[in-house]
Amino acid sequence: MGCRLLGTLFGVDGELLERQYRNHLSGYLCWEQLPHAEEWLLFEKNIGVYVGLDEVCLSRGELYTVLINKERKGRSGSLIAVVKGTDVKTVTSVLLRLSRRRRFQVREITMDMAPNMEQIARLCFPAARRVTDRFHVQKLAYEAVQDMRVKARWEALDEESVQIAHAKACGKIYHAPVFENGDSRKQLLSRSIYLLYKKESLWTESQRVRAGILFREYPDIKKAYGSAEISGW
């Protein structure tokens, strides 16, 4: 609960209460990390055997590199370090402030497939086994499936344009053929975007029907989707 809300509830100036808490009660102005807090924060006591390294966008599009203790599972004491930026030199200059004993305590570090993250992990935690986060592998797999869908949709649009032009030249009105669920080919490919991001067990009945048609018409997409599903197990 914020100070302003407390002020409203108890009939006091919430803005003044907020300033008083920040400047006097909280000890914020005496915080040892205040001088560099906008650039980096380090909480060495939170380090553990299993850590995770990733980049996040916290505010105004700024990227930060975050190191967490995975054993804490997001609870208090999870954050080990947060550094503004993602370049190797900046991040390592902060993480190397951790004591050598603490850094060699780390046995496994999970990260994405970015080369800079791999280099940071290797330089700062040389004794740790480097593991690619399954989430990032699965994300790439699903993005590859979507790329195939988009490519097929553009091909369908091009084919439809040719058919429309041919019908017009013959003085006819073009009617796009539809599948048993009422989708035209371009609609089928457009409307399949969401079901290809979901597990098969979470499909609705209409999505299940659409997926059946999509996979029948595009077996390569079916194969790629199956591979993406396996990567998520």
Give mean pLDDT in consecutive 10-residue pieces for the chain, a chain of 233 residues.
74 80 77 90 95 88 93 92 95 96 95 91 95 82 93 95 92 92 95 93 94 96 88 57
Tokens 């299993």 belong to: 50
Within 13 A of 204's CA, how many CA atoms are on the CB side? Answer: 4
Task: Determine the residue type at 182.
Answer: G
Q: Where in the chain is the domain with CATH 3.30.420.10?
A: 32-132
Report H helices in 51-184: 88-95, 100-103, 115-124, 134-169
pLDDT at 232: 59
Q: For residue 181, what are the CA distances in angstroms to 91, 149, 163, 202, 209?
A: 53, 18, 22, 19, 7
Fold of the domain spanning 32-132: Nucleotidyltransferase; domain 5 (3.30.420)
pLDDT at 93: 96
pLDDT at 23: 77
What is the pTM (predicted TM-score) of this model? 0.65
185: tokens are 């080919």
Give the whole-angstrom CA distance, residue 177 versus residue 183.
8
pLDDT at 231: 64
DSSP 35-75: GGTTTEEE-GGG--SEEEEEEEEEETTEEEEEEEEGGGTTS
pLDDT at 133: 81
Tokens 């480097």 belong to: 130
38-71 pLDDT per residue, tens: 999 999 999 999 999 999 988 778 899 999 999 9
